[in-house]
Amino acid sequence: MPMIAGSIGGPIRFTCLPSYTSRVPPRTHAQLFRIVAMAEAASWAGLLTGMYFKYLTDAGDVGVRIFGPIHGVIFLAYLVMTFLVSRAFAWGRGTTLVGLTCSVPPFATLAFEVWAQRSGRLSTPATGSHDDPLLTRAAVQSD
């Protein structure tokens, strides 16, 4: 079971993800997160369309059988990416929990991704750029 450590309101530290986020540039995390969030929303659209045809018409359940597993895999990928991005960008518990919660309602991952981008949670704290090495919030605030 992963251990979560950190002060209240501070960044979440996942000990089961020791060095992956330190080897991958933050820009890559932000791009992958954006792609997975859009894919999760698209798979929701496919699944909802399949459910419409299954329950409201006599077309059968082929759409649900196709989009159900696809959505399940992308849903899990979104959860993993949210944890990785929360570590790479030093998100607090609240932001991480909102990101995880947004995986449940249809299309909420898109809204969360747009909000995270506009609020600077998908950019480095020092410059707002995706290309610079990630600096900790404490180091930025002490300067």
Instruction: Convert the pLDDT of each residue in 30-50 to its tens digit.
Output: 999 999 999 999 999 999 999
Q: What is the mean pLDDT of the segment spanning 123-127?
A: 59
Cα distance between residue 40 and residue 95, in whole Å: 19
Question: Over 80: is that where the pLDDT of 97 sits?
Answer: yes
Asked if residue 117 is part of any domain, the answer here is yes
Cα distance between residue 95 and residue 115, in whole Å: 11
Asked if residue 99 is part of any domain, the answer here is yes
Say which range, 6-15, 45-54, 108-117, 125-134, has the weakest mean pLDDT: 125-134
Position 11 scores a pLDDT of 57
Structure tokens given for 108: 């909420």
Asked if residue 142 is part of any domain, the answer here is no
Asked if residue 71 is part of any domain, the answer here is yes
Cα distance between residue 20 and residue 14, in whole Å: 11
Reported confidence tier of residue 26, pLDDT bands at 50, 70, 90? confident
Reported confidence tier of residue 1, pLDDT bands at 50, 70, 90? very low
Cα distance between residue 90 and residue 135, in whole Å: 9
Supply the range of the domain harboring residue 65.
25-121
What are all long-range contacts of 27-32, with beta carbons under 8 Å and residues at least 24 apart? 27/130, 27/131, 29/81, 29/84, 29/85, 29/88, 29/89, 29/122, 30/85, 30/89, 30/117, 30/122, 30/123, 30/130, 31/130, 32/81
Asked if residue 7 is part of any domain, the answer here is no
Question: Over 70: is that where the pLDDT of 74 sits?
Answer: yes
Give the sign of the dihedral formed by CA 97, CA 129, CA 141, CA 25.
Answer: positive
For the chain, the domain total comes to 1
The pTM (predicted TM-score) of the whole model is 0.72
Asked if residue 8 is part of any domain, the answer here is no
Reported confidence tier of residue 58, pLDDT bands at 50, 70, 90? confident
Asked if residue 133 is part of any domain, the answer here is no
Segment (H or E) for 118: helix 108-118
Asked if residue 9 is part of any domain, the answer here is no
